[in-house]
Amino acid sequence: MKFIDEARIEVIAGDGGNGSASFRREKFIEFGGPDGGDGGRGGSIIMIADENINTLVDYRFVKKYVAKKGENGRGSDCYGHGGDDVYLKVPVGTTIIDAELEQVIADLDHHGDKIVVAKGGKGGLGNLHFKSSTNRAPKTATRGEAGERKTLRLELKVLADVGLLGLPNAGKSTFIRAVSNATPKVADYPFTTLHPNLGVVRINYEQSFVIADIPGLIEGASEGVGLGFKFLKHLSRTKVLLHIVDIFPLDKDDDVVAKSVAITHELEKYSEELYNKPRYLVINKIDLVSEEEREQYIDDFVTKFKKYNTNTNFERVFAISGATGIGCKELCYYLMNFLTLSN
């Protein structure tokens, strides 16, 4: 199943029931008086975060959710029954946005978090409320209030510990296949990954972390170029970023260093907080360089980065091969240790 990260739905809360204008008429009771009950409240639409759900795919097929209205009040002081609330389960990490006002309603970050996204209308008052010393037979009753109606946009930010970024075809999907249980598509053309992929990296029985493969970024991503802009938000909740660079790109004329440095600028343009996250440079496809030349090759590669921009903000450099597994285990152990200490 492809990872669905955004959905648009309509929620309609139930209207409140109308109050009743009724009078008590019973044998042997000389003065009956008003006995109209209140209408019941309308059902509300409530969203609740559930850790057992990890996609918004259900909301791609059902786009409208309606709660029942409250019952009308009746005579003999009978109040109308309230409409049942409708509970909508969403993954932990879902942001709920009012699509018309472009305002964030809630950010459900923890299991069990819930929010009323559309409130049911109040029930109308029956005529028994309007009885007074000067008005003993009121014929007044009020109508129930209308329930709220909203169009919502649901956004799910990937809840991962480690985020992968890099140019299209940098080898991110190959790496996540090598170290986790994820099976993203791998091919020799740009933008192979069209949806975020999550994988669990298990170090041992008790230790594991979640890694997210984000679709490739290109220069201009922060301004909406390519696929990167749509998914940059998914990196905001990760604790550390791996910037994967392909040292042997498909096009030999590509200046990989220049393009990779440009990605660091895109992070800075998009979010200062995202740019300042711990970030490691991961040089991929190192198996294509002989063991005798690897150390010098890596040094030369890092030096090129610094020539373009001294503030690339890489805290550490790793050399791996996603295809053969060289360096992958060491990198994963280092990440696990970093995540453990940062918790």
Distance, CA of 282 to CA of 192 (rounded, Å): 20
In terms of Cα–Cα distance, which of 146, 151, 137 is closest to 97?
151
Asked whether residue 324 is assigned to any structural domain, the reply reads yes
Domain boundary among 122, 156, 190: 156
Task: Decide which of 124, 156, 188 is a domain's last residue.
Answer: 156
Residue 228 structural domain: 162-342
Paired tokens of 5: 């990260």
Asked if residues 56 and 91 have their Cβ atoms less than 8 Å apart, the reply is yes
- Asked if residue 297 and residue 227 are part of one domain, the reply reads yes
Alpha-carbon distance of 283 to 278, in angstroms, equals 17
> How many distinct structural domains can be found in the chain?
2
Give the C-alpha distances (Å, rounded to integers) separating 17 from 117, 133, 144.
Answer: 20, 27, 5
Both 125 and 263 in a single domain? Answer: no
Is 87 among the domain residues?
Answer: yes
Rounded Cα distance between 106 and 121, Å, is 21
Angle of helix 328-342 versus helix 172-179 axis, rounded to 10: 80
Last residue of a domain, one of 86, 121, 156: 156
Share of the chain above pLDDT 90, in %: 23
Question: Global pTM?
Answer: 0.57
Q: Are residues 126 and 43 in the same domain?
A: yes
- The verdict on 134 and 201 lying in the same domain is no
Residue 307 located in a structural domain: yes
Helix (H, G, I), strand (E, B) or coil at 95: strand
Q: Is residue 139 part of a domain?
A: yes
CATH code for the domain of 217: 3.40.50.300
Q: Within a domain: residue 1?
A: no
Residue 189: predicted pLDDT? 37
Interval 15-30: pLDDT, tens: 999 988 888 777 666 6
Same domain, 94 and 183: no
Average pLDDT, the chain: 79
> Which letter does DSSP use for residue 236 in this model?
G
Q: Is residue 221 part of a domain?
A: yes
Q: Give the residue carrying structure tokens 């299209």.
A: 168
Q: Are 178 and 141 members of one domain?
A: no
Is the pLDDT reported for residue 220 higher than 60? Answer: no
Examine the domain organization and report whether 148 and 168 are in the same domain.
no
Q: What pLDDT is recorded for position 146?
A: 94
Sheet holding 45-50, edge to edge: 86-91, 45-50, 114-118
Give the model's confidence band at 343: pLDDT under 50 very low, under 70 low, under 90 confident, else very high: low
State yes or no: pLDDT of 3 exceeds 60. no
State how far the Cα of 121 lies from the Cα of 16, in Å rounded to an integer. 5
pLDDT band, very low/low/confident/very high, at 175 (cuts 50, 70, 90): confident
Residue 155: pLDDT band (50, 70, 90) is confident
- Band of residue 67 on the pLDDT scale cut at 50, 70, 90: very high
Q: At residue 224, does pLDDT exceed 60?
A: no
Q: Are 93 and 156 in contact (CB under 8 A)?
A: yes
Sort 61 into a burial class: Cβ within 10 Å, 0-12 / 13-18 / 19+.
Answer: exposed
Give the C-alpha separation, 268 to 100, whole Å. 29
The answer as to whether 281 is a domain residue is yes
Q: How far is CA 72 from CA 88, 120, 143, 247, 337, in A?
A: 26, 14, 9, 72, 62
Identify the top-confidence range among 104-108, 156-160, 170-174.
Answer: 104-108
Domain co-membership, 53 together with 20: yes
119 band by pLDDT with thresholds 50, 70 and 90: very high
pLDDT for res 218: 47
150 and 204 share one domain = no
Q: Is residue 104 part of a domain?
A: yes
Q: Are residues 166 and 307 in the same domain?
A: yes
Least reliable range by pLDDT among 149-153, 200-204, 213-217, 244-248: 213-217
Scanning the structure block, which residue is given the tokens 């030096």?
303
Q: Which is higher by pLDDT, 255 or 195?
A: 255
User: What is the domain-level CATH number for residue 147?
Assistant: 2.70.210.12
Residue 185 pLDDT greater than 70, yes or no = no
Indicate whether 143 and 186 sit together in one domain. Answer: no
Across 5-19, 44-58, 161-175, which has the greatest mean pLDDT? 5-19
282 and 177 share one domain: yes
Task: Decide if pLDDT at 31 tops 50.
Answer: yes
Which residues are within 8 A (CB) of 192 and not within 5 positions of it... i.e. 6 or more apart? Answer: 168, 169, 173, 184, 185, 186
Mean pLDDT of 288-296: 84
pLDDT on residue 249:
62
